[in-house]
Structure 1
Amino acid sequence: MLGEKEEKDPDAEKKEEERQEALRQQEEERKAKYAKMEAERESVRQGIRDKYGIKKKEEKEAEAQAAMEQASEGSLTRPKKAVPTGCGDDEDEEESIVDTVMKFLPGPLVDMFNKK
């Protein structure tokens, strides 16, 4: 037992490579078969969609998203992410509201406020 060496079959490595290649080939054939079946199913599905005027799920979602964005465009209750930057919730604004109002007042009124 201690001094014995296992004798390897010289063709074992070659047989293993052939077996692995056969497995790869079978897997490729299986994938090709299922891809062909899925393509046929999709063509049937598309025929049904065309016949009954049904839209794909992705198309429905895209249209719903576009409609939601269009509806919230002028809405006061639009989502927060739709608010443009620089509008609203900036807590570290550099100008105060008084400074902003002062920009839009006519010159004599600004002078009157500055005198105080």
Structure 2
Amino acid sequence: MNFVMKAAMGGGPPDVGKMMGGGEKEEEDPDAAEKEAERLEALKQEEEERKDKYAKIEAEREGMRQGIRDKYGIKKREVVDESAAMEQQSEGSLTKPKKLVPAGCGDEEEEEASIMDTVMKYLPGPLQDMLKK
């Protein structure tokens, strides 16, 4: 209530000019570069700790999986292809790499041809002749 009375009487808070974009310019902090470097280093360290934490969790999970495989006599699938090995290794993992292009999306020419063939099957004979020309 006190603020409203002061604002109505014209007093206002002392930093209204700063909030409106005018007034005094802020001086740059001489230690800003150091602080930014420290902040970036802290972020980097936190990211490494997070990765270590999830690697540890994944190792524990793999140990449990192996225990279940041993208990029930299940064989672990062997993969010959390296990319498939990476995919199988990260299957169910929290740190699974994302696929950039889904399977089957790479060959656009083949897809267009197959779509045209499919459409051509359903058109009547005269229309097919016109489209082939």
TM-score of Structure 1 vs Structure 2, range by shorter chain: 0.3 to 0.5
Question: Larger relative contact order (C-alpha < 8 A, sep ≥ 6)?
Answer: 2
TM value normalised by structure 1? 0.44
Rg: which structure is higher? 1
